[in-house]
Amino acid sequence: MNPLGIHALVWVGGFSREECEYAVQSTRQAGFDILEIPALDPEAIDIAHTRAVLADHGVKGVCSLGLDPDCDISSPDAEVVRRGEERLAAALSVVSGIGGDFLGGVVYSALGKYNAPVTPEGRRNMVTALRRLAARAADAGITIGLEVVNRYESNVLNTVPQALELIEEIDAPNVMVHVDVYHSNIEEVPATAVRQAAAAGRLGYVHIGESHRGYLGTGTVDFGAFFGALREVGYTGPVTFESFSRAVVSPQLSNRLGVWRDLWADGADLARHAHAFITSHLTRS
C-alpha cells in the first residue's frame, strides 16, 4: 500500500522542539509513515533535533509551505523574488537536513487571494526561480511538488493542466504535480486530475482532505472515484491527510486559510478516522 502521511498541523500549531516531539510521536501512534512539516518559517525548525526524533520513531519527514506576499517568486519585483528564493532555499535545507526527499505546496507564488492575474514578467521570474530550485533539489535527491490549489489561494496553478504546462517550462525531471483533492474538488474533477497528472508521468504527491476540511466522508468529495483513479493509474507514492482547525492552527494561519469553523478539536480521533478511511479506500479492489 502507499505510504501514508499526515500534516503536522493536525497535531500542533507550530514546530518547537516540544511540538516536534509530540507531532512525531502522535504520527507513529496513529499508524502513519510520513509527517509533513510546514516550513513556513524554515529558520525556526531545529533540523538536527527533528531528524533525531523522526529517526527514533521510524517516521519519515517531508516539508511543504506557501510563500508570503513579501517573498512571492511570481512577483515582478526583483527584491521580492530574491526573498522568495531565499525562503525556498532555506526550506530545501530543512528537507535535506531531516533526511527527507520532498518539498511541496505553493512554492510558486504567495498563498492567498490575488486581485489580478500573474503578469508575464512575474511568470518569467517564477519559472527562473523554480528552475534554480529544482537544480538545487536534484543535487540533494529531492523532488519538488507544485501543489495545485483553488483560485482563492493562488492565481498561478488552479488545475493540473496548468501545472503540467508550468512543469514543461521549468523542464526538470524532479518537478512533479502535487494533487490535493480538497482544491481539485473546487476547480476540476479530482479523478480526471489524477489521470491527467499520471498520464504525463508527473503525479508525485497526493493530499487527502474533505471539502470542509473536517472528517473524511462527511463532505462533498467523491472519494470513491478519486481513490479509484489512484488505483487505476497505479500510483504508489505518498498519500497524505491534511486538515485544519482553529483549535490547533494559529489564528494568523487560520485566517489566511479561511478556517472560520472548528469541525474538529481532537486531532488524535481525527487522525485515527482518516487512517482507517484512507486505508479502506486504497485497499479496495
Q: Which residues are catalytic?
A: 147, 242
Q: Which residues contact 258 (CB under 8 A, 6 or more apart)?
A: 152
d(CA 8, CA 25): 11
What's the DSSP call for residue 276? H
Question: Whose grid coordinates read 503540467?
Answer: 164
Alpha helices of 58-180 — where are they, by DSSP H? 78-97, 120-139, 160-170
Q: What is the CA radius of gyration of the chain?
A: 17
Smallest Cα–Cα separation from 18: which of 58, 43, 53?
53
- Those residues with Cβ within 8 angstroms of residue 115's Cβ, 6 or more apart along the chain or in another chain: none
Grid cell of 76 as nine digits: 515582478
